[in-house]
Structure 1
Amino acid sequence: MRSRTATWFECKIRYEKTMEDGMQKKVTELYTVDALSFTEAEASIIEEMSSYISGEFEVKDIKKAAYGEVFFSESPSADRWYKAKLQFITIDEKTEKEKRSNVNYLVHAATLEDAVKNINEVMGTTLIDYVIASVAETQIMDVYEHKNALKKKETDDRPEYEQDEPAQGAEA
């Protein structure tokens, strides 16, 4: 399991798909891309989909997705995306009352049970108290990460450009 924090955009693509019975049908599919802007999201989804779709297609809608993080599964059976709403529990020091803050995640898994297991696997490594408020399957077909983000050294999860320069105040 690996997770990734970024700015995510949901993109709807409309095209003519050849169905199993050989008939052509107009379909609209939902994809999520990592981008810095709407323009970059559109360019990214067009580039990604060009290799999968023969013929014309159009980007029908792009909206910013409210995912705090995306959890990617390495399991070959993981073929669905689930939206998970987690509540982080903190105690207000002044009033000593419990406070819950909601964060949405996108989780790659084969089943609902696997999605919950994946959430617990990632969140279990943190010291944050959390409650899984909801997990629901989405219509998202796939998630595409930014190309530069995929270039990583094997020893570290940070992109290469972050590793080449020492941190401020660090000795060289």
Structure 2
Amino acid sequence: MWYEVKVKYSKIDDNEKIKTFNQPYLFDALTFTEAEARATEEMGKYLSEGFKITNIKVANFSEIFPSEHGDRWFKCKVSLVTLDEDKGLERRTNTYVLVQANDVKDAYEYLLEQFADSVSDFSIPSITESPIIDIFPFFDGEEEPIAEPVKTENVYTEASITEEDEADNQDEFVDETEEETSEEE
């Protein structure tokens, strides 16, 4: 299961001013507690000045499609069309996927490519840039790197996340209007 974890930290910018960031990251974990532990461990590697986990929530992505060529994450709404044979009606089931791409056009084309073998009809009603900075899939060292996108029920490796991606993804995404529900101990 994927958890969106918001991490708040301060950083000194090029003008010697302190900027505060509250950025979301995606972690593959079994529980909220595991997501918090993984976030603490992973963020500790990158943020030496300290940080605070301000929010953890379940992410509603059915699949994650990483790409070597993308530097941003896009939330895509996909409507799958199925036929109810008993009633003779079409039913639309909406699902959300996360696609790594350079822009909306690339995300759309990559998504079409991923759903090309789908047996049901589908449409893509929306693609929006996600504020998610980076994803941290579960990896215990025993898996082989997987080159293909995987469903969220499966495990995939960190091979698709490069140091360049992490350096490029330092944009500020602060959403002060969203109500934060922290898990405080």
Q: Identical aligned pairs, as a percentage?
A: 34
CA distance in structure 2 between the aligned counterparts of 1:137 and 1:59, rounded to whole angstroms: 23
Aligned residues: 151
What's 1:45 paired with? 39
Q: Could you tell me which of 76, 81, 96 is aligned with 2:88?
A: 96
CA distance in structure 2 between the aligned counterparts of 1:55 and 1:155, rounded to whole angstroms: 35
Give the secondary-structure state (helix, strand or coil) at the position aligned to 2:68. Answer: coil
Moved more, 29-38 or 144-153: 144-153
Is 1:130 matched up with 2:141? no
Q: Could you tell me which of 27, 40, 52 is aligned with 1:58?
A: 52
Q: Could you tell me which of 114, 122, 147 is aligned with 2:139?
A: 147
Change (3 A) 1:155 1:80: closer
CA distance in structure 2 between the aligned counterparts of 1:84 and 1:102, rounded to whole angstroms: 10
Runs (5+) with no aligned partner, structure 2: 156-185
1:79, distance to aligned residue in structure 2 (A): 1.4
Change (3 A) 1:9 1:154: closer
Is 1:19 matched up with 2:13? yes
Change (3 A) 1:65 1:99: same
State the AA in 1 paired with 2:125. Answer: A
Cα RMSD, aligned residues only: 2.1
Task: Give the TM-score normalised by the residue count of structure 2.
Answer: 0.76
Residue correspondence of structure 1 range 53-92 to structure 2 within 5 A: 53-75=47-69, 78-92=70-84
Which contiguous aligned blocks of 4+ residues in structure 1 show a shift greater than 6 angstroms?
A: 153-159
Is 1:118 matched up with 2:145? no
State the AA in 2 paired with 1:53. Answer: L
The structure number with the bigger radius of gyration is 1
Give CA deviations for 1:115-141 in whole Å, capped at 9, x if unaligned. 101111111122221100111011110
Higher strand share: 1
What's 2:98 paired with? 106
CA distance in structure 2 between the aligned counterparts of 1:149 and 1:133, rounded to whole angstroms: 38
Task: Give the TM-score normalised by the residue count of structure 1.
Answer: 0.81
Runs (5+) with no aligned partner, structure 1: 1-6, 160-172
CA distance in structure 2 between the aligned counterparts of 1:120 and 1:22, rounded to whole angstroms: 45
Moved more, 105-114 or 140-149: 140-149
